């Protein structure tokens, strides 16, 4: 079944012939980039990574290393979500503004350099989630081959492991803006606060972490297996996050949940 899906993915990529991959360095886009490279070859694949305020420096450096490991051509472009009209208001369509801006930058690169398609790491799981960015992709003619092949996250991880792709067990990641409660203005100060807080927790040994921001409150989400680590270091964590700018530091007993901020939406 999974092998059939992988064959379908390869067939889709062959039909595209020459592609630009919107590449974040996450599990999905790295797998997509590797398969595209293996199927189409170096001359027919270009990875493009957008460097912006919502993209941690650590992730950018990892993306560069991964592109080099694959051997693919890689271009880093500069974007700024905070300058996009409507983005900082942080309503439920925030991801539309982000993806729309990304594709406005990447599609011209595709045309200028003679590629045929822009593709990104949309997966089958995303079809049941709140993903406004899908509308931006449709408007720009950007395709999601992983989703078209009906590949799910667990399957992508398993296939990545088979291909010895180092991201096969990488924790899920989303842009820093996703940590800020809907309706609360997104600012550089808040993004920096989130990035520093999550980096601090990772350095303590926490594998998967989100520092959800509700005004002056930090709501820490980790996997249940890491809760004891957080509690064992609660004084240090509280003091450090307060130095970063939070007044209150909490641990969410439900644990890490992708897209947990979407619970408040009526969609």
Summarize pLDDT for 101-146 with one digit per residue, the tens: 999 999 999 999 999 999 999 999 988 877 888 999 999 999 999 9
Number of helices (H), then strands (E), belonging to the chain: the values are 10, 7
Q: What pLDDT band is residue 264 in, cutting at 50, 70 and 90?
A: low
On whether both 28 and 154 belong to a single domain, the answer is yes
Q: Would residue 29 count as lying in a domain?
A: yes
The per-residue pLDDT for 267 is 44
The per-residue pLDDT for 237 is 98
Q: Total structural domains in the chain?
A: 2
On whether both 134 and 11 belong to a single domain, the answer is yes
On whether both 152 and 199 belong to a single domain, the answer is no
The per-residue pLDDT for 131 is 81
Could you give the strand order of the β-sheet that contains 217-222, starting from the edge strand earlier in sequence? 209-214, 217-222, 248-251
**How many whole angstroms separate alpha carbon 84 and alpha carbon 100?**
10
**How many whole angstroms separate alpha carbon 108 and alpha carbon 135?**
18
On whether both 147 and 203 belong to a single domain, the answer is no
Helices 153-162 and 27-40: crossing angle in degrees, nearest 10, is 50
Q: What is the CATH number of the domain that holds 259?
A: 3.30.300.20
The yes-or-no answer on residue 175 being catalytic is yes
Q: Give burial (CB, 10 Å; 0-12/13-18/19+) of 238.
A: middle
Task: Identify whether the C-beta of residue 35 lies closer than 8 Å to the C-beta of residue 176.
Answer: no
On whether both 148 and 189 belong to a single domain, the answer is no
End-to-end CA distance of the chain: 32
**How many whole angstroms separate alpha carbon 170 and alpha carbon 25?**
10
HSE at residue 208, side-chain half, CA atoms within 13 A, is 15
Q: Would residue 171 count as lying in a domain?
A: no
On whether both 146 and 115 belong to a single domain, the answer is yes
What domain range includes position 28? 2-163
Question: How far out from the chain centre does Cα 146 lie?
Answer: 15
Q: What is the CATH number of the domain that holds 48?
A: 3.40.50.620
Structure tokens at 199: 């980096």
More confident call, 267 vs 91: 91
Summarize pLDDT for 160-214 with one digit per residue, the tens: 999 999 999 999 888 899 999 999 999 999 999 999 999 999 999 999 999 999 9
Q: Would residue 99 count as lying in a domain?
A: yes
- CA R_g for the chain: 19
- Name the active-site residue from 6, 95, 98, 175: 175
Spatial CA neighbour of 51 closest among 209, 179, 201, 175: 175
The per-residue pLDDT for 133 is 85
């Amino acid at each position: 079944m999974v092998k059939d899906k992988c064959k379908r993915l390869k067939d889709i990529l062959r039909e595209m012939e020459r592609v630009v991959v919107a590449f974040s360095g996450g599990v999905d886009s790295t797998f997509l980039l590797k398969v595209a490279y293996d199927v189409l070859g170096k001359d027919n694949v270009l990875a493009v990574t957008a460097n912006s305020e919502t993209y941690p420096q650590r992730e950018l450096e990892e993306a560069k290393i991964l592109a080099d490991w694959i051997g693919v051509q890689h271009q880093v472009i500069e974007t700024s979500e905070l300058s996009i009209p409507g983005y900082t208001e942080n309503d439920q369509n925030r991801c539309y503004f982000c993806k729309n801006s990304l594709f406005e930058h990447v599609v011209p690169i595709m045309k200028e350099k003679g590629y045929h398609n822009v593709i990104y790491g949309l997966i089958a799981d995303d079809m049941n989630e709140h993903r406004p960015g899908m509308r931006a992709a449709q408007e720009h003619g950007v395709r999601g081959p992983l989703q078209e092949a009906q590949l799910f996250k667990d399957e992508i991880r398993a296939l990545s492991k088979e291909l010895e792709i180092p991201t096969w067990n990488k924790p899920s990641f989303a842009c820093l803006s996703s940590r800020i409660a809907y309706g609360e203005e997104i600012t550089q100060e808040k993004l920096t606060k989130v990035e520093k807080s999550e980096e601090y927790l990772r350095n303590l040994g926490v594998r998967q972490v989100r520092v959800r921001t509700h005004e002056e409150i930090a709501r820490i989400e980790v996997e249940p297996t890491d809760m004891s680590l957080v509690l064992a270091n609660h004084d240090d964590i509280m003091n450090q996050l307060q130095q970063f700018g939070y007044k209150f530091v909490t641990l969410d007993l439900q644990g890490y949940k992708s897209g947990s901020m979407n619970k408040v939406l009526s969609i």
